[in-house]
Amino acid sequence: MNDLIVIGAGPAGITASVYAARKRMNCLIITGDIGGQTILSSDIENYTGYHFITGVELAQKFREHLEQFKLELKVGDKVNLVKHEDGIVQVRTEKGEYQAKTLIIASGRIPRKLGVEGEDEFKNRGVTYCATCDAPLFSEMDVAVVGGGNSALDATLQLMKIANKIYLVDVADRLRADPIMVEKAKGSNKVIIYNNAKVKQISGDKFVQGIKIERDGKEEDLTVGGIFIEIGSTPASEFVKDVAKNETGEIFVNCRCETNISGIFAAGDVTDVPAKQIIVACGEGAKASLSAFDYISRL
């Protein structure tokens, strides 16, 4: 019987686990990877204590901090179901079943798909959801970035250093990213912006060769060797059925990171906390762990 199970090892999950270790809680961490969405960020300039650090470097710092403690860590496993019965949390994964007095759900989010013809067919063959991971593969090529928020502009700024030309395709009438990012993109002769545009199809042979977009009722074909889909994400909360969620699947939490089920807490981007930021997720993870400790202390 564990005192605590933490699902996820992104900023929220790692911070929660570190706090649990310092409270001498018997803690099990179940996660697909270490670092979560942190590794998808390129240049981070707003994490306190670092004037500048890349997402990969910060994720490594998180891992090093976590490894200072003797915590049971199961990496590469996927949670399929969470149940709460008789005051005990039951967690079923692809590789086993586990029990705990408390649970922190810090499973983060998964990239949203376009849902167009060719997307699944060319995934990892020109279609990608991670510029930080894959941008270097498209050196001196023409590529497309789909989206108009911070993640799309982050991808665009990375590709400006690598690609030959970047088509920025957004369904909205204006880009919604931070103004400083938009200014940098608009100031580059590599970036061509298509507002009010929708991707209709991704085509190619063995790899992506082009996309079809629709703008103002007219279709246009763009020749590209890669397409970076950056249209947001959805909360990874489908495995837990009984906690209250909003219409998008985000888990409702109060200021103590408590869900509607006693003993089950949630933290980070999987929750309805509005600011999806690394530093916010860390703070929420700390709060969730302290709340779990207080809950056990009262048992």
Total count of residues recorded for the chain: 299
pTM for this predicted structure: 0.81
pLDDT tens digits, 161-177: 999 999 999 999 999 99
**Which one of 133, 221, 242, 294 is the catalytic residue?**
133
What's the confidence (pLDDT) of residue 124?
Answer: 85
β-bridge partners, 207: none
276 confidence band (pLDDT: 50, 70, 90): confident
Give the span between the Cα atoms of 214 and 186, in whole angstroms: 21
- Res. 225: pLDDT tops 90: yes
What band does 133 get if pLDDT is binned at 50, 70 and 90? confident
Lowest average pLDDT, out of 79-83, 244-248, 255-259, 275-279, goes to 275-279
Which pLDDT tens digit goes with each residue over 25-64? 999 999 999 999 888 776 788 899 998 998 889 999 999 9
Mark whether 142 is an active-site residue: no
**Residue 70 clears pLDDT 90, i.e. is over it:** no
What mean pLDDT comes out for the span 269-274? 96
Q: For residue 140, what pLDDT band results from cuts at 50, 70 and 90?
A: very high
* Amino acid 116: pLDDT: 96
Amino acid 215: pLDDT: 95
Domains 2-111+233-297 and 127-229 share a fold: yes
Residue 19 is predicted with a pLDDT of 98
What is the CATH code for 2-111+233-297?
3.50.50.60
Mean pLDDT within 126-153: 92
CATH 3.50.50.60 is the classification of domain 127-229: yes
134 given a catalytic annotation: yes
pLDDT of 69: 94
- Domain residue limits, the chain: 2-111+233-297, 127-229
Distance CA 179, CA 165 (A): 21
Residue 279: per-residue pLDDT: 94
- What pLDDT, on the 0 to 100 scale, is given for residue 10? 96
Structure-token pair, residue 259: 């869900």
Nearest CA-CA partner of 222 in 106, 141, 122, 103? 141
DSSP β-bridge partners for residue 194: 169
From residue 154, give the alpha-carbon distance in Å to each of 34, 104, 126, 151. Answer: 21, 30, 18, 5
pLDDT(217) > 80 = yes
Interacting residues of 98 by C-beta distance below 8 A, sequence separation 6+:
2, 5, 28, 30, 90, 91
pLDDT for 64? 95
Is 3 annotated in the active site? no
Band of pLDDT at residue 16, cut at 50, 70 and 90: very high
Please, which residues bridge with residue 142 across strands?
165
